[in-house]
Chains A and B, each alone.
Chain A
Amino acid sequence: MSGQPDTHHEESFWRKYIFSVDHKIIGLQYGITALIFLFFGFCLMMMMRWQLAYPEEPMPMLGWLFGENGVMLPEMYNSLGAMHGTIMIFLGVVPLAVGAFGNYFVPLQIGAPDMAFPKLNMTSYWCYFAGGIVMIVGFFVPGGAANSGWTSYPPLADIATTGQTVWLIGMVLLITSSLLGSVNTITTIVQLRTKGLTWMRLPFFVWAQFVTGFLLLLAFPPLEAAGVLQLMDRLLDTSFFLPSGLVVSGEILNVSGGGSPLLWQHMFWFLAHPEVYVLILPAMGIVAEVLANNTRKPLWGYKSIVYASTFLGFMSFIVWAHHMFMTGMGTTISAFFQATTMIISVPSVVILTAMFISLWGASIRYNSAMLFALGFIPMFGIGGLTGLPLGIAASDIHLHDTYYVIGHFHYVVAPGTIFALFAGVYYWFPKMTGKLMNETLGKVHFWLSMLFINGIFMPMFVQGLAGISRRLWDGGTTYAHAADTLWLNEVMSASAWLLGLAQLPFIYNLIKSMKSGEKAESNHWEATTLEWTDAPSPPLPHRNFEVIPEVHRGPYEYSVPGADKDFTPQSEA
């Protein structure tokens, strides 16, 4: 490797940037694509928020999208809802957290020249890209994009318009992509750790990606199976999810029947609950890196965080039916899932507490990355704790399918995971580009985002407790029990649009800094992990390091007493 003659040769533009097998280029491809999808999904939501705040009023500027007199049709609203969820989760957050950050920084943090299977890595990205294109194509088929919710519950989804078929094909591609990606991540972490990098010396980010890899690997296939079954139902008229005697538009559906809609729910949530941890674990990994670096002290309770995250991963496979308390499950099985759900909250609390205690006694550097990481802690706390009443069968009866649920999981994913991802962007941008981002713009971005994102989601708890259902096209105007809290719709919508504006400094900052940012040193943040201490910024193409580093200590040796500086790199002998 290091001593060998340089095999570097000029590559064509296509090989270098488009069909690249370099994990860093692929990571950037993932990152850029995912950011675009995130923004797209966000725009869909901003349109929905107009409809909710001002039902049946024509939308300014974008009214032409909805045909006659610019008022959004209910079908369109449903499409936007389904696609917002799908795009945000499967095309935005997961690819950004796992595909982009995982791909880029796992090999760097473990001192590997690349991922274990570079070609598989490239295939994974292109499957993801194809899946994204297919999802977008859904908007242009007759009947519009999938409109049965991101959960695609049958029988509705079985008899929905063509968009649902397109959605399923897109999902199969996305699942294939994440399967290839997870095989690659796990193999890389097991096999390519550099000399001296034992398991308990791994940066927590790598651990988080490792556990996430297993979740993707083992939880996604049942959804793929379910997707195939639903495709069979839609294309070959089978009845996997259609019960006998189903009446549609006043007529008994002409199918063999004998299927069960609940089967879909089981197979769907078998994936979709671990998916929640796929969203949150990499975010925790990023936050851990940023916290340790900017508190200038070791992460508190590293081992307990590691054990907690593996336990979290394991438990996430056996809690899924808490999404199904309202399907008429018996009390025994409900009690089982309720118990496992309560148990799984313990490791989350362990991780969060450890992060919180890490702040104690630190002289904190408040840069943009750290602000977002600090924002993550209380926001994820709110998201997590509001989940408990949903995990208890009795209180779930009241809250199920209300805006409370929407508020809960958005607190986990939006100001939780997405804040952590922003932290990751601000933290690693100098490493990826060799340039610095503007700190002032970053702080503006943080404070405005923090303010408005709470303006969106906090009122949802109020509306949800008042009993407003999550899937109402008109935001609840036709329901008497909603009357008292309807005014919140405007507050939430205004916050959503302002949140959109608050992203402009970020977008500007990103592009401007990439072009003409101040030059960054290779270890700008004075960090201890290998990607900062041993690789130049940006790292060398196709091998990352001048010399493959060796590791002599744990990942977070900051402010070691008696050391000459306040950080001791992992690779320092």
Chain B
Amino acid sequence: MEIPYNVEERQDTGMYNAKLGIWLFLASEVMLFGGLFSAYVFLRMGDVTGAFMSGSNQLNVPLATFNTLVLISSSVTMIMSWVSLKLGEQKKFKTYLGSTLVLAGVFLVVKYFEYSAKFHHGIFPETSTFFAIYFTLTGLHMLHIIGGMIVIFYFLVPGAKMMKLESERFTNRIETVGLYWHFVDLVWIFLFPVLYLL
């Protein structure tokens, strides 16, 4: 049984199903991170001990700046991989999507060094409310990165068969993965100044 508009766009809404689906999912993600940002604002405004100021000063800004650039680059390679598919350049697609995966890996490695440096200095989530929200937000963001990497890996290796069999459907899938990936980038764009710079 075929479900309509799985691949092709519905005329009056102008969307295929997964596109609306992923955007709805992202909307709920906005609210998830929104809830955590709200917790950040709430705790920061109620903070009388200065834990947020001093905590934020202990974070490593250069590393995070580097990571921001890494993540932005991964977003660009992600969109380029979709462009390559659109233009029918399947080899380029693999290169770009592979680069996205590598850049995501770089992000995680940098994050690993950041975390272990903190643990090394005896800084843990329980140290203060600032570090509690820092580890929660970055940790949850990292889980999103890892989730994205799994999906990207799937489309790069085991799922790549579809590229030749159902190329339009595959392009749609890459577009939705891309939307998710840009969202993860977007979250980091806000996390970075809020946690590291303020």
Interface residues of A (CB under 8 A from B): 1, 4, 7, 112-114, 116-118, 120, 179, 182-184, 186-187, 190-192, 217-226, 228-229, 232, 236-240, 244, 255-260, 263, 266-267, 270, 542-543
Partner of A267, one of B17, B38, B124: B38
Pairs A–B under 8 Å by Cβ, sample size 22: A113-B4, A114-B3, A116-B3, A117-B21, A183-B21, A183-B25, A217-B27, A217-B28, A218-B31, A220-B31, A221-B29, A224-B35, A225-B35, A225-B36, A225-B39, A229-B36, A229-B136, A240-B39, A255-B126, A257-B129, A258-B46, A263-B42
Asked if A218 meets B126 with Cβ closer than 8 Å, knowing A116-B21, A240-B43, A543-B1, the reply is no
Q: Is the C-beta of B113 less than 8 angstroms from some C-beta in chain A? A: no
Find B28's partner among A113, A191, A220, A229 (CB 8 Å cutoff): A220
Q: Does B24 contact A (CB under 8 A)?
A: yes
Chain A residues near B125: list those with CB within 8 A.
Answer: 232, 236-238
A322 to chain B minimum Cβ distance, whole angstroms, is 19
Q: Which residues in B have their C-beta under 8 angstroms from that of A257?
A: 129
**In the complex, are the beta carbons of B21 and A224 less than 8 A apart?**
no
One of B5, B126, B135 near A256 (C-beta < 8 A): B126
User: How many B residues are at the interface, by size bracket?
Assistant: 35 or more
Known: A225-B35, A238-B126. A1 touches B43 (CB 8 A): no
Point out the residue from B18, B21, B47, B136 that lies within 8 Å of A232, measured CB to CB.
B136
Cβ contact within 8 Å between B24 and A187: yes
> Are B126 and A239 in contact (CB-based, < 8 A)?
yes
Query: Are A226 and B20 neighbours in the complex by a CB distance under 8 Å?
Result: no
By the criterion CB–CB under 8 Å, are B35 and A226 in contact? yes
* Interface contact B35-A240, CB-CB below 8 Å: no
CB closest residue in chain A, given B25: A183
Looking at the complex, which one of A190, A220, A229 makes contact with B39 (CB distance below 8 Å)? A229
A263 and B25 CA atoms in complex are apart in Å by 25
Contacts of A220 in B (CB 8 A): 28, 31
B129 adjacent to A256 (CB under 8 Å): yes
**New contact pairs (11) apart from A187-B20, A542-B1, CB-CB < 8 Å:** A187-B21, A221-B28, A221-B32, A225-B35, A228-B136, A232-B136, A239-B126, A240-B43, A244-B49, A256-B51, A258-B46
Q: Is B34 an interface residue when CB atoms closer than 8 A count as contact?
A: yes
Summarize A's interface: helix, strand, loop or mixed: helix
Query: Does B1 lie within 8 Å of A7, measured CB to CB?
Result: yes
**Using a CB–CB distance below 8 Å, which chain B residues touch chain A?**
1-5, 10, 13, 15, 17-18, 20-21, 24-25, 27-29, 31-36, 38-39, 42-43, 46-47, 49, 51, 124-129, 132-133, 135-136, 140
Contacting pair B129 A187 (CB below 8 A): no
B129's contact among A184, A224, A239, by CB below 8 Å, is which? A239
Contacts of A7 in B (CB 8 A): 1
Among candidates A4, A179, A267, A542, residue contacting B35 with C-beta atoms closer than 8 Å: A267
Cα A192 to Cα B4 in complex, Å, equals 7
Q: How far apart are B43's CB and chain A's nearest CB, in angstroms?
A: 7
Q: List, in ascending order, chain B residues with CB within 8 A of A260's CB.
A: 42-43, 46
* The one of A1, A116, A219 that contacts B17, using a Cβ cutoff of 8 Å: A116
Contact of B10 among A191, A224, A229, A270 (CB under 8 A): A191
CB atoms of B132 and A186 under 8 A apart: no
B20 cross-chain contacts in A, Cβ below 8 A = 186-187, 190-191
B43 touches A263 (CB 8 A): yes
Which of B1, B4, B21, B24 has the largest count of A CB atoms less than 10 A from its CB?
B1
Q: Which chain A residue has the least Cβ–Cβ distance from B2?
A: A1
Known contacts: A238-B126, A244-B49. The answer to whether A232 contacts B132 by CB under 8 A is yes
Residue pair A225, B129 in contact (C-beta under 8 Å): no
Interfacial chain B residues near A256, Cβ < 8 Å: 51, 126-129, 132
A117 touches B17 (CB 8 A): yes
Q: Which A residue sits closest to B36, measured CB to CB?
A: A225
B10, B21, B43: the one contacting A258 at CB < 8 Å is: B43
A270 to B34, CA, bound (A): 12
Task: Identify which of B5, B15, B24, B34 gathers the most chain A CB atoms within 10 Å of its CB.
Answer: B24
Distance of A201 Cα from B27 Cα, bound (Å) = 27
CB-based contact A237/B24 at 8 Å: no
Residues in chain A near residue B38, CB distance under 8 A? 222, 266-267
**Chain A nearest Cβ from B132, distance in angstroms:** 4
When chains A and B are docked, how far (Å) is the Cα of A118 from the Cα of B6?
11
B26 nearest CB neighbor, chain A only: A183
Decide if A238 touches B129 in the complex (CB within 8 Å): yes
A180 nearest CB neighbor, chain B only: B25
Give chain A nearest CB distance to B31 CB in angstroms. 4
Contacts of A270 in B (CB 8 A): 35
Specify which chain A residues have a CB less than 8 angstroms from the CB of B51 in the assembled complex: 256, 258
Bound: A120/B51 CA distance, A: 42
Contact B42 A258 (CB under 8 A): no
